[in-house]
Amino acid sequence: VQTHPPFLRLLDALRDVVQKPSKGQSIVYWMRMGDLRISDNKALALASAQAVEDQVPLVVLHVLSPQDYIAHDRSKTRIDFVLRNLSRVKDELARLNIPLYTITHTPRKSVPTRVISVLQTLQSTRLFANFEYEVDELRRDTEVCSLAQNAGIRPTYVHDRCIIEPGVVKTKDGRTYTVYSPYQRNWISILNSNLSDYLKESPSPTSNPSTIREDHVFGPLFEVDVPVSVHGFELDPEEAANMANIWPAGTSYAKEMLSRFLYTKARATQLGAVDPLADGAEDSDKSSRVLLYDEARDRGDKDTTSRLSPYLSAGVISVRECVRQTMKLLRIQKVEAGRSSGVGRWVQELAWRDFYTNVLAYYPRVSMGRPFQERFADVKWEVNEEHLKAWKEGKTGIPIVDAAMRQINTMGWTHNRMRMIVAMFLSKDLMLDWRLGERYFMEKLIDGDLASNNGGWQWSASTGVDPAPYFRIFNPYTQSSKADPTGDFIRTFVPELKSLYGSDIHNPPAKVADKLGYPKPIVNHAEARVRAIRRYKTPGEE
């Protein structure tokens, strides 16, 4: 058991750093791959204020670290999304005379040395960054702290990713929650007790007070333009165009997505609002997706959720902004605790994001291939390359599983309910190791996030904090008729079945499937369920 996680070690290291460095020639903000925006960005706001106070230029630095992408199984679509957003950020910063420089660095171990040497070249004594809670990143930042101390540089890290940062929501006796419901109740009461502080908007950076000296910038040190791709993570042109079309880059687009979720176009037009969040909005709009969220969120055949996860995981929009705007639009003074309202429910989904980040910060072993519940460490998994391949390609013969996997393969995204169905199917029906699925998701998702992905997989495989009990195994056919009652979702992603309706779309009769060239189910659910319960009940045995 990890008693002093890297997160706490970094907090300790930060206490020891140089508190009063001499004034330098510039201020550096290190923009990480999870904070790709200039508005409401805590570290960037602090860095900008410091630049104004010191009357020196602010420089924004981004480090492209291909070895880290490999270590985290990052998808090509995610890296492409990072670069597209960085390029937007660069343009926005340029209007403020703030340069954004990227460096591509390998090996990953020496990123801290490289960053410190960049600061030295820029004669900067202040480094600002938002925390990253992944283990390797925490270790890297601890190393940055110790190098900074010797170099007379003061690093400042701030919490930005969550609404309530890790370590704040604790049990009465000061322990970290490992069960979601009491965490969420406490999370809501802490949030409501200090709403204005938790949701406070950080000021956008101001124009640079002076320009960076050219001799500090040009030369081999930086890539002046954001690269269009990273070696080994190139998308083919068709896929790149597809991704740019489905998931356009930029904070303004993310904000549009948020308004679209909070409002319907019809409603906005009815109100005559160009900006759907403008004053004059009434709080009784029953057609707003967020108000219908509680009852409709599990529908795969309808567009019922926000689809903001790519933007939230890359930090293109701030999570505080999402809650602020929701409350503003609906004129809500406090976040509701109950699940009966769509708004309360949606905000509670954002709390899951905080919860899993908290789990990662305090129990880093979950991200190192360990089940949170060690009693399931020895569950006997099948080794079956054919089944794994069929699952990945969406050719299992179970339509809902295939539709969801094909959506992931083409869009880099699928609904939460679909993720749960395919994850449960892999780990229980196919009895394949959940870590194989966790990895494949990271390799394909555009919103791949270690904490939420690991949390979702360990929930589905019944090995995590507060998981689905191992004996409650989703029946994929029943799930299918609930999550896709019209069958539209399956027909969209499994076109072979587009002529089927009614119950046939969920479980096509063998002869019909054969005729349509659709595979037979690779596993019998009833038998697989019995096997899974046996294996989980007696880990280590057949």
The residues annotated as belonging to the active site are 349, 352, 381, 416, 434, 457
The DSSP annotation for 238-307 comes to: HHHHHHHHHS--SHHHHHHHHHHHHS-HHHHHHTT-SSTTSTT--TT-TT-HHHHHHHHTT-TTS--S--
Of the pair 212, 361, the CB lying nearest ligand FAD is at 361
- Among residues 321, 302, 315, the alpha carbon closest in space to that of 258 is found at 321
Report the residue from 101, 352, 493, 518 that binds ligand FAD according to the rule CB under 6 A.
352
Distance separating alpha carbons of residues 337 and 278, to the nearest angstrom: 26
Distance separating alpha carbons of residues 460 and 429, to the nearest angstrom: 12
Distance separating alpha carbons of residues 90 and 101, to the nearest angstrom: 8
Distance separating alpha carbons of residues 317 and 336, to the nearest angstrom: 23
CB of 405 to ligand FAD, least distance (A): 12
Q: In this chain, which stretch among 268-276, 299-307, 506-514, 525-533 interacts with ligand FAD, using CB under 6 A?
A: 299-307
Which residues have CB under 8 Å from 161's CB, separation 6+?
A: 34, 35, 130, 131, 132, 133, 315, 319, 357
Distance separating alpha carbons of residues 428 and 531, to the nearest angstrom: 8
Of the pair 65, 306, the CB lying nearest ligand FAD is at 306
Of the pair 226, 329, the CB lying nearest ligand FAD is at 329
Report the residue from 306, 326, 479, 480 that binds ligand FAD according to the rule CB under 6 A.
306
DSSP code for 489? H
Element (H, E) at 140: helix 135-151
Distance separating alpha carbons of residues 223 and 62, to the nearest angstrom: 10
Report the residue from 234, 239, 349, 488 that binds ligand FAD according to the rule CB under 6 A.
349
Binding status of residue 239 toward ligand FAD by CB under 6 A = no
Site string for ligand FAD, 423-462 (x = CB under 6 A): x-----------------x---x-xxx--xx-xxx--x--
Binding status of residue 309 toward ligand FAD by CB under 6 A = yes
Binding status of residue 508 toward ligand FAD by CB under 6 A = no
Which 3 state secondary structure label does DSSP give 385? helix
Compute CA distances 512 → 130, 181, 393, 403, whole Å: 55, 45, 21, 18
Which 3 state secondary structure label does DSSP give 59? strand
Binding status of residue 416 toward ligand FAD by CB under 6 A = yes
CB of 467 to ligand FAD, least distance (A): 11
Sheet containing 58-64: order of strands: 100-104, 58-64, 26-30, 124-130, 154-158
The DSSP annotation for 72-117 comes to: TT--HHHHHHHHHHHHHHHHHHHTTT--EEEEE--SGGGHHHHHHH
Q: In this chain, which stretch among 146-154, 403-411, 418-426, 511-519 interacts with ligand FAD, using CB under 6 A?
A: 418-426
Report the residue from 44, 188, 420, 500 that binds ligand FAD according to the rule CB under 6 A.
420
CB of 471 to ligand FAD, least distance (A): 19
Of the pair 26, 462, the CB lying nearest ligand FAD is at 462
Binding status of residue 357 toward ligand FAD by CB under 6 A = no
First and final C-alpha spacing in the chain: 28
CB of 483 to ligand FAD, least distance (A): 12
CB of 459 to ligand FAD, least distance (A): 6
Binding status of residue 26 toward ligand FAD by CB under 6 A = no
CB of 165 to ligand FAD, least distance (A): 16
CB of 411 to ligand FAD, least distance (A): 11
Q: In this chain, which stretch among 214-222, 308-316, 476-484, 530-538 interacts with ligand FAD, using CB under 6 A?
A: 308-316
Binding residues (CB under 6 A) for ligand FAD: these are 297, 305-309, 312-313, 349-350, 352-353, 356, 415-416, 419-420, 423, 441, 445, 447-449, 452-453, 455-457, 460
